[in-house]
Structure 1
Amino acid sequence: MFTITVGDPQKVGDPISAHIVYTVTTKTNHPAFKKDSFSVLRRYSDFLWLYETLVSNNPGIIVPPVPEKVALGRFEGSFVESRRLALNKCIQKIANHAKLANDLDFIFFLESDTFSLDIKHRRAESSTGGFLASLGSSISGSKFHETDEWFDKKKTYLDTLEAQLRSLVKAIEAVAKQRTEVITATQEFADTIAALAASDLSKHLSESMKVLAQVETQAKELHDSQARDDLVLLTGTVDEYIRLITSVRLAFQSRTKTYHNMKLTESERLRVRNANEKIIRQHTVDRQSMVPLQREIEQVELKAQEARTKFEEVTRLCKAEVDRFERERINDFKISLERFLDGMLRRQNEIIDSWDGYQKLLLKSTDLNNEAPTAA
């Protein structure tokens, strides 16, 4: 139904207000859109607005997260590309979610040509300070006592999983550091051999050195390419799921918010019922006067029932969303590891082929020297 890409990052604005804008291109047959193909420009803060809005609109849903804000290095080429990839994956996952793909604010984000102006108006009208801030304040009142053992187990599991993923990030960073050292050493070795080949050596030895320098330069380029894959395929996936764990916790917190709302409506129901029953007991109330009292009781009863139904619905939704999170986590890590290993094997084979070719060249050169006639 959707084909969405986030691409073509461009730096715009003066040095003080400079930022990166991305072209978000959408192709869809979704009936809610006016066109089947269109493109819009969006900056990082727009993606962040979308994330917070979808979290607010969809309690219990694990909304795919955007990458974190950074203060330094946000215009460096490697960072811009890694952020673009993360934003692209985020938008694609939202589009693949049955409920989020139909959210009116998601449609608005993809389609609006006056997005920046409309967002300014929305923010000016809002006095809540954003959903994530309001969520924190809304659950800081009465203490929430978990009655469902499933949630306690999942919270412990998420803490353990996050710790394991952060340890994996450190391990990948250590490997990346070692690979950087190998890249630097390989380049220095290639440069030294190339300089030696250009010195006053025999033609045979000079040619051999020149080819060796080329082999080492190719190895350096392959190591460099592998280092980028370490970041894009492995670190990118691990970082995404560390952020997703935060989104899972937000979904759980939205359930807590609906629980407190349910308790508030239940308290209001009891208050209204007790107050009206007291009026009826203490005073003589005719049938006509009882109608508004009965209507008020029915309204608070209905509101309390709706709040309870909402809590139960969000509870079921959280459990279903965690199951989906687990399936996608296994699949995403499997795909990332397969791509990583395929790339590593391909590059290792290329290095082996280069060394094999160099060895054959040396053997051939040695045979030709042995066959050369000696002077009489």
Structure 2
Amino acid sequence: KFTMYRVNYDPPPPPADGSSSSDAILSYATSVNRRYSDFSWLYERLHKERPGAIVPPLPDKQSVSRFSEVFIEGRRFHLEIFLRRVVCNPELKDTECLLVFLGGGDDEFKKAKKDGSFGSGKANVEAANEVAADEPYQPFDPEMAPGAHYNSQHDYNKLIDKVEGELSTKKAGIKKWIKERKTSLKGTMVRSPDDAIFDEITNYVSALEMGLKRIDTQTSSLIRRDKDVSTCMLEFGLGCDALCHIDDEINGVIGEGDDTTSSTGIGQTFRQMGKTADEISKLSYEYYEKELSCFREPLRDHLKMIHAVKIALQKRHNRRVTYSTCINAVESKKASVHKYKITPGKEGKSVDAAASLARAEATLIVAKQNYEECSQRALREVDRFRRENASYMYATMLEFAKVQKEHHDKMNNAWGALVPELEGLDASDSGLRGKSFVEASAAASKNDSNVGREVEAVTTDVQNIAMPSYPPPPEPTSNGMESSVLNEAVRYRTVDPLPTEE
């Protein structure tokens, strides 16, 4: 069970002057269905085809509630943002993986996903020279797994060749990773004029990330406080309503109608305070939701973009390590060729060493080209990120300030409307229908004496009523029965005759 997302692409309208538009990725409209795993494939391929470019982040995965409407809509929204950013990025919009993602049919797209070296030309060279630590090797296709049923010997031989090829590639990748690891640990890295600039960029990105994380931490505390304010004000309003009902019950208001204006004094004060507290609770919850959508989510999205910048810088560093490793390999092979040439009896090995040196020099040329292109691409992307970062953060902070002002204006209006209403009430008018408790007590005592006389008269009348009496106990007889009194009850038992004396 999975979720499909429909991706529609409409090319921009042609310019008014009739010239061809360079912003169009495809010249025709497309509509395809894609899964989240397809977006993940596009994300990985963009890194391979354009190392050093800032690839926008994908929405986070979620293991529970994956098919709820809220989660699906939220993921769709963030996937749309991802695609829009990719399409608007000048370094990514012409990649082959994006073209096949937007315009490829189902069969073409499945074939592209299975092809590990998808792409052509320069992209293929870059993918072939990817660092092992940067690109984990994938296992061979499971549809040709060992133990499956093969229709012919050709299928079996194809499987063997494929496994051997993948093992050879994996072995070569491990060797390459070990060499590059040694180069990185030894510190024998190639130096370029751009290294100081990239060090400054790295420090800038780290400081920016640290500052935004601090803001995010404090923002989370503020948002939790605003949510707590909403809950507390709701409970506060319920407490005021309860106090109002208590005062109304004492004053005898309850049961006389639904007119809330019949409350007087402190009861009406609690009633108005409860209404205002309910309004403040609603305003606080609306403010909490706006802070989530207008500030915290954009802030965390920007933190993800900073992480994408760090990934782009890491790609450039990986190319630098590869280039440095190739330089060390060429120097080592040159020394081997020279050694074989001057050593008697080793002239034959010098030919193989020279061929190995030629291959290493060709690899060095490609590695140098990839490193320089990746460095320039990373510089362009960082400049673009700084421009967009300034605009993005300005808009976010401005929206946050507007939300703060709007919320506090509403809060001031709510409290400001309550003050005149409370000032117009007379808190002293809270007696028992205009009577004090002393007067109420005196009235209650007077009523109590009248009730006492009525009770005395009723008692006298009751005593004059002839009450029925219980019948007297029967007289004891001499018919062989003996009577006894136990707890004012008469009990009888049979009297056995005494034995006669003989």
Q: TM-score, normalised by structure 2?
A: 0.55
Please state if 1:255 is matched with 2:316: yes
**Residue 151 in 1 paired to residue 198 in 2?**
yes
Deviates more, 1:306-315 or 1:326-335: 306-315
Q: 1:120 to 1:209 in 2, by over 3 A?
A: farther
Q: 1:92 aligns with which of 76, 80, 84?
A: 84
**Matches of 2:235 and 2:318 in 1, distance apart?**
60
What is the alpha-carbon distance in structure 2 between the residues aligned to residue 77 and residue 357 of structure 1? Answer: 41
1:141 corresponds in structure 2 to: 181
What is aligned with 2:10?
A: 27
Which residue of structure 1 lines up, in the alignment, with residue 460 of structure 2? none
- Alignment partner, residue 345 of structure 1: 405
Distance, in Å, in 2 between the alignment partners of 1:173 and 1:78 is 22
**1:215 maps to 2:276:** yes
- For 1:299 and 1:63, how far apart are their aligned partners in 2? 33
SS at match of 2:182: coil
Does residue 238 of the first structure (1) align with residue 299 of the second (2)?
Answer: yes
Aligned mates of 1:60, 1:112 — CA distance in 2: 26
- Identify the residue that residue 211 of structure 2 maps to in structure 1: 164
Describe the SS at the equivalent of 1:61. coil
Higher helix share: 1
Range with bigger deviation, 56-65 or 165-174:
165-174
Counterpart of 1:184 (choices 223, 231, 238) is 231
**What is the Cα deviation at residue 223 of structure 1?**
1.5
For each residue in 1:166-187, what CA deviation from the matched residue of structure 2 results, as whole angstroms up to 9, or x when unmatched?
A: 2222211211221121111012
Distance 1:350 1:188 in 2: 20
User: Structure 2: which 5+ runs fail to align?
Assistant: 13-22, 118-126, 137-175, 254-258, 345-353, 430-502
Unaligned runs of 5+ in 1: 1-12, 14-18, 283-293, 370-376
The residue number in structure 2 matching 1:310 is 370
Q: Does 1:326 align with 2:386?
A: yes
Q: CA–CA distance in 2 between the matches of 1:96 and 1:121?
A: 26
Q: Which has the higher Rg, Structure 1 or Structure 2? A: 2
Structure 1 match to 2:59: 67
CA RMSD of the aligned region, Å? 4.3
Map Cα deviations across residues 94-122 of structure 1 (whole Å, 9 max, x no partner).
222112122232233344563xx766554
Where does residue 126 of structure 1 map in the other structure? 116
Provide the rounded CA distance (Å) in 2 between the counterparts of 1:330 and 1:76. Answer: 36
- Cα drift, residue 349 of structure 1: 1.6
Q: Tell me the alpha carbon deviations over residues 199-227 of structure 1, each in whole angstroms, 9 at most, x when there is no partner.
A: 64484237776654443333222222222
CA contact under 8 A between 2:244 and 2:268: conserved in structure 1?
Answer: yes
**Distance in 2 between the 1:46 and 1:212 partners?**
56
Assess if the C-alpha contact under 8 Å between 2:183 and 2:324 holds in 1: no
For 2:228, the aligned partner's letter is E
Code of the residue aligned with 1:126 in structure 2: it is G
Which structure carries more relative contact order (alpha carbon 8 Å, separation 6+)? 1
Identity of aligned residues (%): 21
8 Å Cα contact 2:330-2:360 kept in structure 1: yes
**TM-fit CA distance, 1:90:** 2.9
SS at match of 1:351: helix
Q: Distance in 2 between matches of 1:113 and 1:218?
A: 55
Distance in 2 between residues matched to 1:45 and 1:344, nearest whole Å = 40
Deviates more, 1:47-56 or 1:101-110: 101-110
Q: Tell me how many residue pairs correspond in the alignment.
A: 336
Maintained 8 Å contact 1:55/1:63: yes
Q: How far apart in 2 are the matches of 1:266 and 1:173? A: 49
Counterparts of 2:67 and 2:39, CA distance in 1: 17
1:121-142, Cα deviation, whole Å (9 max, x unpaired): 54544399xx897516676533
Normalization by structure 1: what TM-score? 0.70
Aligned to 2:49: 57
